[in-house]
């Protein structure tokens, strides 16, 4: 049935689909307009097959019912839905690929809080299982700006809780177990016997599902298939508001896990995942692993897992991610790529077989098994490596740094700053970028500066203005960029890194190593003048 509508402002997808306050998504026609813009941008829904699911946050089930009705009215042939409307982002990516679907709708605002006063989101992934490329998201935005109608069928809600197939008009509705296919995929990649033997030998673990979507996946894989003791998975029941927390796996938000890992009876291994299951945090007994280091460790040890035993084709990392993985690529003699922030840029490299392992500093790592980052995949590869090498997390990190040296790293987030202030600060910096090389700030010499632009090596697609980079003497680097996933004001991210070779004297904390660089950049950009503060909300 055709419904008349008028365009709604602000339907421009960011780094990872469209994220807004839940109430905005719930406003009349908002979800429908954006969904119709997706159908229009992909050339219509007629005869197509779509995967559909979300992270279970507030409004998930209602949004799914609307999208089912719209898929039907847009002529779709089939929608494949996770039972209860649940699908983790990597599981959705896998289903799109394994079922040969044309694409998928994933309902999530990732690690942002959920609830009627919190955040909601919708992203569209294409037939390769990965986030829609920029050309398509730009089409969505352009379509929504001129939208005058959408198509939505009438009818009662579909039963999402019973596995099986029903029909609505021309469309088949297939409800599947959200975990089964994904768990089988994991079993095909990793040495489950070795990991099970590790657990049988007394190895202990705590996995914090943060009341988000990975609970059912972690229970099934870690406890039921691999034999980790009951209670290994904490906060394992998905809740609409994630128990009131931020389902963001970092030391700040996963504080329950961090506390356990530094307690006297800490388990051997700790991990957490985010709202939709694509991010991960890794922590050993008293040893937090930065995501940039985790990417490097996984790339260096991937050959220990059956799926990667033949070696990896190459590695890709987002630009703000530290250079730790670059050192591994060099040692392995494989290609290394530096892409803009956001998983979509890895897709073409993965599709072309140029890279096998990808990662971002924001706790995302993954491989060519799907076209999304994958939290549990990273956890399982860590377990596989630990099972083979028989080292603790701290020992494995020490071993890695002794071989490659260490990239000390920090990301500082200044959240919910007035948009104009953030833009003014960065415009000011941008204007000075061409003349920064050779100047000094706070006693530190700037050696180079640029605005990051990227040309996709496979399809030639260009992306400009992907962040500001400043290099200093001694090899340290600072990056500034604006978040593309916030829902309120602007978020300025400042990324700092400094390499120390294996033979550098003494062990030092990242904060100490990075202090001069931090002071230099805060002064260079004048955070105090523009944002009224020099202290970030979150440091990871």
Residue ranges that bind ligand G1P, judged by CB under 6 A: 15-16, 110, 318, 341-343, 360, 362, 364, 483-485, 493
Q: Yes or no: say if 211 and 237 are a contact pair by the CB < 8 Å rule.
A: yes
> Which does residue 360 touch among ligand G1P, Zn ion, none (CB within 5 to 8 A, set by kind)?
ligand G1P
Task: Name the minimum Å distance from CB 360 to ligand G1P.
Answer: 4
CA 178 to chain centre: 19
Question: Three-class SS of residue 155?
Answer: coil
Report the residue number, 102 or 278, with the smaller CB distance to Zn ion. Answer: 278
Q: Yes or no: say if 336 and 329 are a contact pair by the CB < 8 Å rule.
A: yes
> Which does residue 273 touch among ligand G1P, Zn ion, none (CB within 5 to 8 A, set by kind)?
none
Element (DSSP H or E) covering residue 282? strand 280-284
Task: Name the minimum Å distance from CB 15 to ligand G1P.
Answer: 4
> Which does residue 342 touch among Zn ion, ligand G1P, none (CB within 5 to 8 A, set by kind)?
ligand G1P
Expressed in percent and rounded to 5, the helix, strand and coil fractions of the chain are: 35, 25, 40
> Which does residue 274 touch among ligand G1P, Zn ion, none (CB within 5 to 8 A, set by kind)?
Zn ion
Q: Please tell me the number of Cα atoms within 13 Å of 71 on its side-chain side.
A: 29
Number of residues that bind Zn ion (CB under 5 A): 5
Produce one character per residue of 502-529: b if its CB has 16 or more CB atoms within 10 Å, e if not.
eeeeeeeebeebbebbbebbbebbebee
Query: Can you say whether the dihedral through the CA atoms of 368, 369, 373, 379 is positive or negative?
Result: negative
Q: Yes or no: say if 269 and 204 are a contact pair by the CB < 8 Å rule.
A: yes
Report the residue number, 32 or 278, with the smaller CB distance to Zn ion. Answer: 278
276 binds Zn ion, rule: CB under 5 A: yes
> Which does residue 232 touch among ligand G1P, Zn ion, none (CB within 5 to 8 A, set by kind)?
none
Task: Name the minimum Å distance from CB 364 to ligand G1P.
Answer: 6
Report the residue number, 180 or 464, with the smaller CB distance to ligand G1P. Answer: 464
Report the residue number, 78 or 278, with the smaller CB distance to Zn ion. Answer: 278
E strands within 11-156?
18-21, 49-54, 78-86, 103-107, 119-125, 149-151
Task: Name the minimum Å distance from CB 306 to ligand G1P.
Answer: 28
Task: Name the minimum Å distance from CB 493 to ligand G1P.
Answer: 6
Closest Cα partner for 375 from 388, 391, 361, 363? 363
Task: Name the minimum Å distance from CB 277 to Zn ion.
Answer: 7
Tell me 221's DSSP state: I
> Which does residue 485 touch among Zn ion, ligand G1P, none (CB within 5 to 8 A, set by kind)?
ligand G1P
Sole window of 270-278, 296-304, 319-327, 492-500 interacting with Zn ion (rule: CB under 5 A): 270-278
Report the residue number, 109 or 206, with the smaller CB distance to Zn ion. Answer: 109
326 binds Zn ion, rule: CB under 5 A: no
Integer distance in angstroms from the first to the last C-alpha of the chain? Answer: 48
> Which does residue 16 touch among Zn ion, ligand G1P, none (CB within 5 to 8 A, set by kind)?
ligand G1P
CA distance 88 to 50: 15
Surface-to-core class of residue 46, CB atoms within 10 Å of its CB (0-12 exposed, 13-18 middle, 19+ buried): exposed
Task: Name the minimum Å distance from CB 96 to Zn ion.
Answer: 17
Sole window of 273-281, 286-294, 464-472, 499-507 interacting with Zn ion (rule: CB under 5 A): 273-281
Q: Yes or no: say if 443 and 516 are a contact pair by the CB < 8 Å rule.
A: yes
> Which does residue 137 touch among Zn ion, ligand G1P, none (CB within 5 to 8 A, set by kind)?
none
Task: Name the minimum Å distance from CB 454 to ligand G1P.
Answer: 14
Q: Is 110 a catalytic residue?
A: yes
274 binds Zn ion, rule: CB under 5 A: yes
Report the residue number, 238 or 291, with the smaller CB distance to ligand G1P. Answer: 291
Report the residue number, 267 or 486, with the smaller CB distance to ligand G1P. Answer: 486
Report the residue number, 328 or 379, with the smaller CB distance to Zn ion. Answer: 379
Q: Yes or no: say if 430 and 524 are a contact pair by the CB < 8 Å rule.
A: no
Report the residue number, 105 or 150, with the smaller CB distance to ligand G1P. Answer: 105
278 binds Zn ion, rule: CB under 5 A: yes
Query: Can you say whether the dihedral through the CA atoms of 91, 391, 322, 119 is positive or negative?
Result: positive
Which residue is catalytic, options 88, 110, 294, 348? 110
Q: Where would I find the H helices in 108-254? A: 134-145, 180-189, 192-200, 214-218
Task: Name the minimum Å distance from CB 289 to ligand G1P.
Answer: 17
Query: Can you say whether the dihedral through the CA atoms of 507, 512, 516, 518 is positive or negative?
Result: positive
User: φ, ψ for residue 347 (rounded to 5)?
Assistant: -55, -50
DSSP string, 422-445: HHHHHHHHHHHGGG-TT-EETTEE
110 binds Zn ion, rule: CB under 5 A: yes
Cβ-proximal residue to ligand G1P, closest one: 483
> Which does residue 318 touch among ligand G1P, Zn ion, none (CB within 5 to 8 A, set by kind)?
ligand G1P
What residues are annotated to the active site?
110
| Residues at the site binding Zn ion, with contacts judged by CB under 5 A | 110, 274, 276, 278-279
């Amino acid at each position: 049935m055709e419904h008349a509508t008028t365009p709604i402002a602000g339907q421009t997808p960011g780094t990872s689909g469209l994220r807004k306050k839940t109430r905005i998504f719930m406003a009349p026609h908002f979800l429908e307009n954006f969904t119709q813009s997706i159908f229009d941008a992909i050339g219509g829904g007629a005869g197509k097959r779509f995967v559909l699911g979300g992270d279970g946050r507030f409004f998930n089930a209602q949004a799914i019912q609307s999208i089912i009705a719209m898929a039907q009215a847009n002529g779709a042939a089939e929608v494949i839905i996770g039972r209860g409307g649940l699908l983790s982002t990597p599981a959705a990516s896998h289903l799109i690929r394994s079922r040969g679907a044309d694409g998928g709708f994933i309902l999530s605002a990732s690690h942002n809080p959920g609830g009627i006063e919190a955040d909601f989101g919708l992203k569209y992934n294409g037939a390769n299982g990965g986030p829609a490329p920029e050309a398509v998201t730009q089409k969505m935005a352009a379509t929504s700006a001129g939208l005058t109608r959408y198509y939505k069928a009438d009818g009662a809600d579909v039963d999402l809780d019973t596995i099986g197939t029903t029909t609505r008009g021309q469309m088949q509705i297939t409800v599947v177990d959200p975990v089964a296919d994904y768990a089988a995929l994991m079993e095909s990649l990793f040495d489950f016997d070795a990991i099970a033997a590790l657990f049988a030998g007394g190895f202990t673990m705590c996995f914090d599902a943060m009341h988000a979507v990975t609970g059912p996946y972690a229970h099934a894989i870690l406890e039921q298939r691999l034999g980790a003791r009951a209670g290994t998975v904490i906060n394992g029941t998905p809740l609409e508001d994630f128990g009131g927390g931020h389902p963001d796996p970092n030391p700040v938000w996963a504080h329950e896990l961090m506390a356990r890992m530094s307690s006297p009876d800490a388990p051997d291994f700790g991990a957490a995942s985010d709202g939709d299951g694509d991010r991960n945090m890794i922590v050993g007994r008293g040893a937090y692993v930065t995501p940039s280091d985790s990417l490097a460790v996984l790339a260096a040890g991937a050959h220990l897992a059956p799926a990667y035993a033949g070696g990896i084709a190459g590695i890709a990392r987002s630009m703000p991610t530290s250079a730790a993985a670059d050192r591994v690529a060099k040692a392995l003699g494989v290609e290394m790529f530096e892409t803009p922030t956001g998983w979509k840029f890895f897709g073409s490299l993965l599709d072309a077989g140029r890279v096998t392992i990808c990662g971002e500093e924001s706790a995302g790592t993954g491989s060519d098994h799907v076209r999304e980052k994958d939290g549990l995949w990273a956890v399982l590869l860590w377990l596989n490596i630990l099972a083979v090498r028989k080292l603790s997390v701290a020992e494995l990190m020490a071993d890695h740094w002794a071989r490659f040296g260490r990239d000390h790293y920090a990301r500082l987030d200044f959240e919910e700053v007035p948009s104009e202030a953030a833009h003014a600060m960065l415009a000011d910096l941008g204007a000075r970028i061409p003349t920064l090389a050779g100047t000094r700030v706070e006693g530190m010499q700037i050696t180079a500066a640029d605005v990051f632009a990227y040309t996709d090596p496979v399809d030639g697609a260009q992306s400009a203005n992907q962040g500001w980079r400043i290099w200093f003497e001694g090899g340290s680097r600072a990056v500034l960029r604006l978040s593309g996933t916030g829902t309120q004001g602007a978020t300025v991210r400042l990324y700092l890194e400094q390499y120390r070779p294996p033979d550098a004297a003494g062990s030092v904390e990242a904060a100490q190593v990075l202090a001069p660089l931090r002071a230099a950049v805060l002064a260079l950009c004048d955070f105090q003048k523009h944002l009224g503060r020099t202290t970030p909300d979150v440091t990871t």
